[in-house]
Amino acid sequence: MNIILMGPPGAGKGTQADIIKINYPIPHISTGDMFRDAVSKQTPLGVEAKKYMDSGQLVPDEVTIGIVAERLAEPDCQKGFLLDGFPRTIPQADALEEVMKKLNKKIDAVINIFVPDDILIARITGRVSCRECKTVYNLNTNPPQQAGVCDKCGGELFQRSDDQGDTVVKRLQVYGEQTNPLLAYYEKKGLVYNIDGDRDSQAVFADVKNILESR
């Protein structure tokens, strides 16, 4: 079961990834995790990627794709994987298809969690995190017991700069511009499953489960 998980910021993609990991024996692979793993293992591609990461530049596609190919060939991916954050562009999707052919695998489903922009904006701008234990709260739906203080460790709560106002609107705009062509690419292959993310996380997962178990 080889899955690509898609969804805009605030759609609950991370929550669903966590639930999928609990219920299915497949690794959740994000682009950031792949880069960090390759860098820590000091693979040739990891060393190359680190040069760009250290200078604040985007890692070129050829390096990213090489790291993806290495990761998907590892033993824990034999029963499948949940790919998150890759591909982001059509050239990356084409390259992933070539990687999958070499591994004698195929993408089984592209799960796209969608939520209306106005709800996403309310969700994201209400998010605050603990500086110490990283617990995330939402001031609208899951507020801390005491304003500005983490329930778990008493740490200070803060809001990330990219979770504020105009920045959120821009993030969603960029996501749509980047992702819509990719969704169309996979829709032509009959792989896209759109799921309403404006519901309780368990209701969303029930739909995810139905998709995964029908493949």
Q: Taking Cα atoms as reference points, which of 163, 158, 150 lies closest to residue 10? A: 163
User: What is the pTM assigned to this prediction?
Assistant: 0.83
pLDDT band at 57 (very low <50, low <70, confident <90, very high): confident
Q: Where are the domains of the chain?
A: 2-26+79-115+166-214
Task: Indicate which residue of 36, 50, 88, 105 is catalytic.
Answer: 88
Most confident stretch, 12-16, 97-101, 174-178 = 97-101
Q: Which overall architecture, per CATH, does domain 2-26+79-115+166-214 show?
A: 3-Layer(aba) Sandwich (3.40)
Q: Give the integer Cα–Cα distance in Å for 96 and 69.
A: 8
Residue 141: the pLDDT is 84
Residue 195: the pLDDT is 97
Q: 199 an active-site residue?
A: no
Q: 160 an active-site residue?
A: yes
pLDDT band at 131 (very low <50, low <70, confident <90, very high): very high
Q: Give the integer Cα–Cα distance in Å for 46 and 36.
A: 8
Signed CA dihedral, 51, 53, 32, 36: sign only: positive
In this prediction, residues 123-142 reach a mean pLDDT of 92
Q: 171 an active-site residue?
A: yes
Q: How many CB atoms lie within 10 A of CB 77?
A: 18
Q: 127 an active-site residue?
A: yes
Residue 75 one-letter amino acid: P
Q: 13 an active-site residue?
A: yes
Q: Give the integer Cα–Cα distance in Å for 48 and 62.
A: 11
Task: Indicate which residue of 102, 131, 160, 189 is catalytic.
Answer: 160
Residue 194: the pLDDT is 96
